Amino acid sequence: MLSTAIHNGVTKQVTKPKLKSHSEHLMKRVSRACLHCRQRKSRCDLDSSGSPGTPPCQRCLRDHRECVLGSSNRGGRRIRKPKTANLEMHSNSSPARVMQLAPSGAPGPTDPHSFPRPYPSDHYGRSDPPTASTINIEDDDSASTTDSAIGSVPRNPSDAWQCLTNVAKRGAESANLEKTGDHYSESKSRVRLPGVEDEESEPGIKAYRLIKNRSLTRETVSQLVTRYADNFHPYLPLVPRKYFDPSALESFASQEKHLLTAVLTIASKDLVETPQVHEVCSKYMHELISGIAAGADCDVEAVEALLILAEWEPQGLRPKIEAVGRGEEDRAAWMHVGLALRSGYFLGLDRTSFRGDPANDTQNDGRKRLAWTSCYISDFIGPGPMTGLVSKDFPSLQPLTSTDEDYAKIFQALLDLTQLYGNVHDVLYSGMRTSSQMMLMGDYVKYVDDFRNAIERWNRNWGTLTCSQHIKVTLQMSYEYLRLYTNAFAFQAAISQALTSKPKGDAPSQREHLRAAFSNVASMQDARFIYASVDAAKSYLTILNNYVDPEKHLHFMPLRYYLYSIYAAVFLYKARSFGVMNAPEEQAVRHLINLTTDRLHRASAGPDDIGSRYARLLELLWKPKASSSSSNTQEHQRKDESVPTGTVPNRLPEQPYMQYSPMNDFSWLDLEAVGDYVSGYPMGNPTFMGMNSFPHHNPYPVTSEAIWPVQNWPYMRCLTLAKVHAGGLLKFLFGNIAGWDYVTT
């Protein structure tokens, strides 16, 4: 704009500056940043040069860097760099086309000079190498799939695992869709990898491993399943009864391979005429167990398989079998139950402990509840049912006809007895300090009395249960063993009190003091408990000898009833060592032991069976030494035939009095220590729960094993290996504190 101005008489035209509008005074928003600031994720100030939006920025100017503006990522489709290293080389030789599914009826182009590829891409027609646009589309699809799969934030490891499972399922569904879209590739272009089995081509029993590799025939599998249903299933009715129908063998093999293999392994364990059948079943079962331990996919049927294996523990699963039983089966069962518990937790079986809506309670929920409750029965001290489950909570065990066995009520009776087991352990055998205080202060009396009343109440409720004789006798033996386990605590308390009341002296005087204290049991404060424990042990063996047929029933009974009889016999041996029995009673007990060993031998299918092996243990423990040297020689020769070279009892004590001394160094529940005792092995430094591979010696000097247990109790299943070591250490420590270490002669 021009204006006229007069200065010193001279007229001049002056150009006035143009005023900017309000919008021109506002600085434009800069939406771009240099590469350096974008990498640092910091603010890029492009006003330092005086020209807004033009480099260099203030940071690059200060750091003497080259300021290069980055391109904008707003709007449009993002072009990613190709991820294939040789993309440019292939793109120059062939045109760019997107890989598509070939039509089902038209074959794709072929190249006579190329080899077919044994990969999932063979389901597609031949296509040119991928281009940049192809890779971008695939990247976007995979990103969207992943984003949708993890749309919800995982709150725990189970949610994260479920998220990954959903992604895997989507991938499997897309692969199946691609497979159905190309029949030509399926029939001609696909190449099978050597050694890879195609189970989808042969569904049902033909795809089962032992049938496919011709190790077993269909008839053999059917016979073994029937044999298991008739002889083993009544003692632990875990296998769904629908699979005992021969027409259901196809679904049994295709859907329940862990459970079917466990059934075959147990049913073939005593087939002496065809040992190769048990060998192939055990080998496959061992492979499946290793897969479960390694984290392979499994369902509730795998938990059921582990539980029934723990109840019978076939000898084919162990690499070595000793001639004399030393508790190997119990340790193996311990581990199988622990693996079943972990698998059950992962599958969420513990949630079925809570009783839900009966209308929404599906058949699968009932099966899971039965499996989880069986885990508790096998473990004894694990987390039990929270809502007091009864027989109606197990519909699969309900009788279908009036002639069927009511396994639901039998299972409820066993469950109630197991809960008593757990209560006795939690109160009396809870730990070293509390147990020792109860023993020395006498607080255990009221607890033992209460448990005795509860056990008798259980007997009144379930003692009249109507069922098969061979099933009812198992409940009676479990009842007698619980009586023994409960009253034995008071027996140990009496020993501890007798030791504390005697001043320290030499070894013979202490030994004579113990024998004198227990020679007149009727005058002791805990006489009723001592008498009850001895009576329970004798009652158990009496039931075993008089009411259990060794060939028809004992032969097929679970492992626990064998071990209960051995524990009862060893307990009577320890009681006899303290002078509790008079001469006539001792002779009667010795006759009872002879009958027991005979029954165990008759119940065995061979010399390596569990009955024969533990019968030899009792024979070595109870058989007295002959007086003459010739009889001694014959005795050693007989034992040389039944005991391995490394365990020949050539160092047994020479005097019968020494053999029955209360200073013997083993617990009545530690079968490995009993085996060491009868074999003449020194037990000054016993191993932790029989685990010879434990690398360190016991840091606490212990001269002998505890005679009466506190921490470890029979057929108890532990969840962690650390708990096994801790349990053995507690027993050693408690032996010192409670006076369980006696001076050896």
pLDDT tens digits, one per residue of 296-339: 999 999 999 999 999 999 988 877 788 888 888 888 999 999 99
Q: Which of 167-176, 390-399, 590-599 has the highest mean predicted lDDT (pLDDT)? A: 590-599
- Distance between CA atoms of 125 and 103, rounded to whole angstroms? 9
pLDDT band of residue 265 (cuts 50, 70, 90) is: very high
Burial annotation 724-741 (CB, 10 A radius, 16+ → b, else e)? bbebbbbbbbbbbbbbbb
Q: Which of 263-272, 328-337, 438-447, 510-519 has the highest mean predicted lDDT (pLDDT)? A: 263-272
Looking at the predicted structure, is the pLDDT value of residue 138 above 90? Answer: no
- Stronger pLDDT, 418 or 97, i.e. the higher one: 418
pLDDT band of residue 278 (cuts 50, 70, 90) is: very high
pLDDT band of residue 646 (cuts 50, 70, 90) is: very low
- Stronger pLDDT, 402 or 359, i.e. the higher one: 402
Looking at the predicted structure, is the pLDDT value of residue 513 above 50? Answer: yes
Structure tokens at 676: 């060491």
Looking at the predicted structure, is the pLDDT value of residue 82 above 80? Answer: no
Looking at the predicted structure, is the pLDDT value of residue 35 above 50? Answer: yes
pLDDT recorded at residue 176: 54
Q: Which of 181-195, 377-391, 417-431, 707-721 has the highest mean predicted lDDT (pLDDT)? A: 417-431
Structure tokens at 230: 């008739």
Mean pLDDT of 41-48: 81
pLDDT recorded at residue 153: 56
Give the rounded percent of residues in the chain with a pLDDT score beyond 70. 60
Q: What is the mean pLDDT of the chain?
A: 72
pLDDT recorded at residue 665: 56
Whole-number CA gyration radius for the chain? 39
Mean pLDDT of 706-717: 38
Residue 96 DSSP symbol: -
pLDDT recorded at residue 559: 94
Contacts with 26 (C-beta within 8 Å, 6 or more apart), sequence order: none
* Least confident stretch, 29-33, 411-415, 576-580, 692-696: 692-696
Asked if the 32-67 domain carries CATH number 1.10.3470, the reply is no
- Stronger pLDDT, 214 or 700, i.e. the higher one: 214
State yes or no: cis peptide before 130, omega within 30 of 0.
Answer: no
Looking at the predicted structure, is the pLDDT value of residue 480 above 60? Answer: yes
Looking at the predicted structure, is the pLDDT value of residue 690 above 50? Answer: no
Residue among 388, 397, 343 nearest 370 (CA):
397
Looking at the predicted structure, is the pLDDT value of residue 10 above 60? Answer: no
pLDDT band of residue 727 (cuts 50, 70, 90) is: very low
Give the domain ranges of the chain: 32-67, 203-397, 407-623+661-737
Question: CA distances (Å), 660 to each of 573, 574, 654, 665, 669, in order?
Answer: 8, 8, 11, 11, 17
- Distance between CA atoms of 447 and 449, rounded to whole angstroms? 5
pLDDT recorded at residue 275: 92
- Distance between CA atoms of 477 and 458, rounded to whole angstroms? 13
Looking at the predicted structure, is the pLDDT value of residue 683 above 70? Answer: no
pLDDT recorded at residue 385: 60
Residues paired with 688 in a beta bridge = 691
Give the rounded percent of residues in the chain with a pLDDT score beyond 90. 38
Structure tokens at 561: 């009833």
Looking at the predicted structure, is the pLDDT value of residue 283 above 60? Answer: yes
pLDDT recorded at residue 3: 53
3-class secondary structure, 705: coil
pLDDT tens digits, one per residue of 251-260: 999 999 999 9
Mean pLDDT of 685-695: 31
Question: CA distances (Å), 213 to each of 206, 207, 216, 218, in order?
Answer: 10, 9, 8, 12
Q: Which amino acid is at 24?
A: E
pLDDT band of residue 219 (cuts 50, 70, 90) is: very high
- Distance between CA atoms of 677 and 27, rounded to whole angstroms? 97
- Stronger pLDDT, 104 or 489, i.e. the higher one: 489
pLDDT band of residue 562 (cuts 50, 70, 90) is: very high
Contacts with 410 (C-beta within 8 Å, 6 or more apart), sequence order: 465, 467, 471, 475
pLDDT band of residue 4 (cuts 50, 70, 90) is: low
DSSP string, 165-223: HHHHHHHHHHHHHHHHT-HHIIIII--PPTT---GGGS-GGGGSHHHHTTSS-HHHHHH
* Least confident stretch, 425-429, 431-435, 560-564: 431-435
pLDDT recorded at residue 653: 37
pLDDT band of residue 510 (cuts 50, 70, 90) is: low
Residue 541 near residue 569 (C-beta atoms within 8 A): yes
- Residue 400: what are its φ and ψ, rounded to 5°? -85, -30
Mean pLDDT of 706-721: 36
